[in-house]
Chains A and B, each alone.
Chain A
Amino acid sequence: MKTSILSINSFIGILSSSILLFLSIASISNVHAATSDFNFAAVGDWGCNSNTDATVKGIANTKTTNKLGAPELVLGLGDYSYQPTANCWLSKVASIDDNMKITIGNHENSAKTGFNQYKKSFGLTSNAYYSFDFQNVHFIIMNTQTPYIAGSSQYNFIKSDLAKAANKANTNWIIVVMHEPFYTSPTSCKIKSCQGIGNLRDIYHPLFDTYKVDLVLGAHLHDYQRSFPLEYNSASSSKPIMTSKIPSKYNDPKGEIYVIVGTGGINFHKIIGKNSYIVNQQSSFFGHLNVDITNKGQVLTAKFIQNNGKVFDSFSITK
Chain B
Amino acid sequence: MNRYYILLPIIMGMIIIIPLFTLLAYAQKNATISPNCGTEEGFEVTLETDGFGPSSNVHWDLVDTKNNTIALSGYFTTNSSGGFEERTYVDDISSGDYKIKFFDDADTNDKLDANKTGLSLDFSIPCKSQ
Once the chains are docked, how many angstroms separate the CA of A133 from the CA of B70?
A: 41
Which of B19-27, B73-81, B113-121, B122-130 is the contact stretch?
Answer: B73-81
A269 within 8 Å of B (CB atoms): yes
Contact partners of A266 in chain B: CB under 8 A: 74, 88-89
Once the chains are docked, how many angstroms separate the CA of A154 from the CA of B65?
A: 43
Q: Contacts A49-B76, A83-B44, A188-B71 hold; do A194 and B92 have CB atoms under 8 A apart?
A: yes
Interface size grouping (class) on chain B: 20 to 34
A17 within 8 Å of B (CB atoms): no
- Which residues B60-96 have CB closer than 8 A to chain A? 69-77, 84, 86-89, 92, 94
Chain B interface SS verdict (over half): strand
- Which 10 pairs across A and B sit closest by C-beta, in order of nearness? A267-B74, A82-B89, A49-B86, A270-B70, A189-B92, A268-B73, A191-B92, A267-B88, A267-B72, A49-B87
Distance in angstroms from B123 CB to nearest chain A CB is 13
- Contact pattern, A 72-90, Cβ under 8 Å of B = 1, otherwise 0: 0000000000110000000
A285 within 8 Å of B (CB atoms): yes
Known: A83-B44, A284-B109. 19 other contacts (CB 8 A): A47-B88, A47-B89, A48-B87, A50-B76, A50-B77, A50-B86, A51-B75, A188-B69, A188-B70, A191-B92, A194-B92, A266-B89, A267-B72, A267-B74, A267-B88, A268-B72, A268-B73, A283-B73, A284-B108
Contact partners of B74 in chain A: CB under 8 A: 51, 266-268
